[in-house]
Structure formats: structure tokens, C-alpha cells
């Protein structure tokens, strides 16, 4: 072990290695402290954020001869899924509707029902203590 060597060379190289490590650590710390930051805007002051140049939207004219009074079948919605995605979904078992949320204690809001969430985008985050 070079750190326990009792020779002068071992002692010298050990001290040199420790000094180099300290120098690198302090240099890194000083370099990190000198990086300039953008000044924070005072509270209540408006900050101008540059936005990309906006182009006017193209205008479309409607061809009156293209409009028909033919009935449209609304019962069959077109699926945005690919054939591969539909095949994957077909392999999954049907578990029925989600069970109702039975928790009566809500920390951040009023009690929630699944019926209130139907048709909305919901992000579910599972986490535990431990």
C-alpha cells in the first residue's frame, strides 16, 4: 500500500497526490461559482420573451359544389390506431370498467369520482413510501 509506506519517496508521492486532489477540488468549486447567471426579474415586472415570427394562416375557400346533403354515418368512428396496435389490444383481456374510487379522505381536493373524469385526459402516478 503506497499510503502506508515509510520511505521518503512513498511519503512524497502520497502528499503530492493529496495536494493534487485538493487543488482539483478547489479549482472545480471556484469555476462552478464563477459561472454568470442571468439576473432575475423583480416580482411584478414584465419580462419580454422573444417569439418566432408568426406567418399569417393560409385562407381556404369552400367550393359550394363540393357540399352534399348526404347523411354521414357517425356510428362508426375511424380508429387512429394502426393494425399492429389493434392486434395488441385484441390480445389483452377485458377487465370491465374501473372500480369506483372509495377513498373518502382527499388531501388536495374534494372527493373524486371516476364519472367526473370520463372523457378527460388523466395522468396517473403510482408511488409509495418506502
Dump pLDDT digits (tens) for 11-52.
Answer: 777 888 889 999 999 888 888 777 666 666 666 666 666 666
- The residue whose grid cell reads 497526490 is 17
Binning pLDDT at 50, 70 and 90, where does residue 6 land?
A: low
Per-residue model confidence as pLDDT tens digits over 71-124 = 666 665 666 889 999 899 899 898 888 888 777 777 777 888 888 888 888 888
Per-domain residue ranges of the chain: 1-35
**Cα 64 to the chain's mean position, in Å?**
46
For residue 128, what pLDDT is reported?
78
With left for phi above 0 and alpha for psi between -120 and 50, is residue 96 left, alpha or beta?
left
Tell me the pLDDT band of 64, cut-offs 50, 70 and 90.
low
Q: Whole-model pTM?
A: 0.26
| Residue 51 confidence (pLDDT) | 67
Q: Give the residue, 58 or 121, on which the prediction is more confident.
A: 121
Residue 55: Cβ within 10 Å count: 6
Amino acid at each position: 500500500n503506497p499510503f502506508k509506506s515509510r520511505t521518503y519517496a512513498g511519503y512524497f508521492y502520497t502528499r503530492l497526490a493529496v495536494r493534487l486532489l485538493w487543488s482539483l477540488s478547489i479549482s472545480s468549486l471556484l469555476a462552478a461559482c464563477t459561472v454568470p447567471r442571468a439576473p432575475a426579474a423583480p416580482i411584478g415586472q414584465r419580462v419580454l420573451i422573444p417569439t418566432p415570427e408568426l406567418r399569417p394562416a393560409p385562407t381556404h375557400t369552400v367550393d359550394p359544389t363540393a357540399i352534399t346533403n348526404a347523411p354521414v354515418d357517425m356510428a362508426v368512428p375511424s380508429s387512429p390506431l394502426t393494425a399492429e396496435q389493434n392486434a395488441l389490444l385484441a390480445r389483452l383481456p377485458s377487465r370491465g370498467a374501473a372500480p369506483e374510487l372509495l377513498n373518502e379522505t382527499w388531501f388536495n381536493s374534494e372527493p373524486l369520482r371516476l364519472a367526473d373524469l370520463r372523457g378527460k385526459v388523466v395522468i396517473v402516478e403510482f408511488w409509495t413510501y418506502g
